[in-house]
């Protein structure tokens, strides 16, 4: 289970748009939700979203080490580089897109330095010798004096070392810099791309190339496409839903504009639907993935806002925005086909209203299990072991 998050309500200009319909908030800290999910489950991996801008490395490393131990190695971290919340954590100007990834690389490297601080060439500092009464050998601890571009701290970390490895690292992002970050650091790459064989294979090739460039094996990274399914009872019902979405009303488009304004921290609701987007409308820190979801492959200089919003409103049996409308059997067909194209798994996302969740999963889970797509068994060795068991 991956828990999306944004640590703030974003820019002052769009706060009302974010909270009016609860598109962008309120949101509570997913890291504090994780222990309750671990306590209530036996095998579920939980991946809270974390932002390097929000927590300094030493504190973050200690928190994550604690949760990894308490959960039985079921913790993951979805590392995002959103800089729109920067003003809540310091008075420094928000970093640009690539610089935010540079900071995230240093942050994650810092965590790994601290997690490794209980080991040395002489071996682990953790002795646990009952006969001598020695718990740990302090001479084997690494003091870790880090002085980097973005962070400065000393170690060692005041938390015992991992028994089965560090938390699983996940990352989103489709930009060149985002894919480079994934290639260097991630165990899971969250993919948002058109669900066509060409797009899936090209995306996979880019991730694998990024991994090889950083000295890793392609199979070190699991690529999971995010899909928003609408599960219906028959192909005919799916066709009716798709046809009904082809000509959205202006009211529907304005509702979509409100949601997009929340995601993009930019007020689209006051713009002319029939005019192109103004140049320099979006701040540099705005997510490039969110921008691509809005504009697609259309010419931003000439396409009116109406065209962008209509494309978002329009459903497809399989859409270019990772959407799906169809029966549970048809969805299982899609997942199997994605597997033949080299995809490693899917992440379901969308409306979390209980009615929608039950309507989707009650139909989908039995079909996926019957066809061997959804596993029943777990390794019992934590999230990382489960991730690489298929």
Annotated binding site for FMN: which residue ranges? 49, 97, 101, 175
Binding residues: 49, 97, 101, 175
Instruction: Look up residue 93 and give its DSSP letter.
Output: P
CA distance 75 to 383: 7
Tokens at residue 95, please?
Answer: 């970093």
Q: Do the strands 2-3 and 47-50 form a parallel or antiparallel pair, or are they unpaired?
A: parallel
Spatial neighbors of 90 by CB under 8 A, at least 6 apart, are: none
46: closest CA among 26, 79, 13, 71? 71
Tokens of 164: 């089965």
| Structure tokens given for 107 | 């942050």
Q: Is residue 336 a contact partner of residue 371, using CB atoms and an 8 Å limit?
A: yes
Residue by residue, DSSP assigns 151-174 as: -EEE---SSPPPSS-SPEEEE---
Beta-sheet pairing, 168-171 with 188-191: parallel
């Amino acid at each position: 289970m991956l828990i999306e998050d944004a640590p703030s309500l974003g820019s002052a200009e769009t706060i009302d748009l974010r909270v009016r319909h609860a598109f962008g908030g309120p949101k509570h800290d997913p890291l504090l939700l994780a222990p309750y999910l671990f306590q209530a489950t036996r095998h579920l991996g939980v991946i809270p979203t974390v932002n390097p801008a929000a927590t300094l490395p030493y504190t973050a490393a200690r928190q994550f080490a604690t949760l990894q131990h308490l959960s039985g190695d079921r913790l993951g971290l979805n590392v995002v580089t959103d800089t729109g919340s920067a003003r809540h954590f310091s008075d420094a100007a928000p970093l640009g897109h690539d610089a935010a990834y540079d900071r995230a690389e240093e942050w994650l490297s810092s965590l790994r330095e601290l997690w490794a601080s209980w080991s040395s060439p002489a071996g682990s500092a953790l002795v646990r010798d009952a006969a001598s009464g020695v718990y740990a050998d302090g001479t084997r601890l690494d003091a870790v004096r880090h002085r980097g571009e973005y962070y400065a701290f000393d170690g060692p970390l005041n938390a015992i070392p991992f028994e089965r490895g560090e938390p699983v690292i996940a990352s989103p992002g489709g930009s060149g810099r985002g894919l480079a970050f994934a290639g260097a650091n991630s165990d899971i790459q969250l993919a948002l791309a058109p669900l066509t064989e060409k797009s899936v294979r090209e995306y996979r090739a880019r991730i694998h190339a990024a991994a090889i460039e950083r000295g890793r094996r392609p199979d070190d990274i699991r690529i999971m496409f995010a899909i928003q399914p609408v599960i219906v009872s028959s192909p005919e019902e799916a066709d009716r839903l798709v046809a009904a979405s082809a000509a959205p009303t202006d009211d529907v488009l304005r509702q979509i504009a409100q949601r997009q304004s929340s995601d993009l921290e930019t007020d689209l609701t006051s713009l002319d639907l029939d005019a192109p987007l103004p140049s320099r409308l979006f701040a540099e820190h705005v997510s490039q993935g969110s921008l691509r979801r809005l504009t697609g492959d259309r010419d931003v200089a000439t396409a009116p806002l109406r065209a962008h919003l209509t494309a978002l409103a329009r459903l497809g049996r399989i859409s270019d925005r990772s959407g799906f409308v169809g029966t549970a059997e048809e969805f299982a067909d899609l997942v199997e086909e994605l597997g033949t194209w080299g995809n490693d798994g899917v992440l379901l996302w969308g409306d979390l209203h209980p009615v929608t969740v039950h309507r989707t999963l009650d139909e989908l889970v039995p079909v996926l299990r019957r066809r061997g797509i959804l596993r029943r068994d777990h390794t019992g060795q934590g999230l990382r072991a489960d991730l690489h068991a298929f």
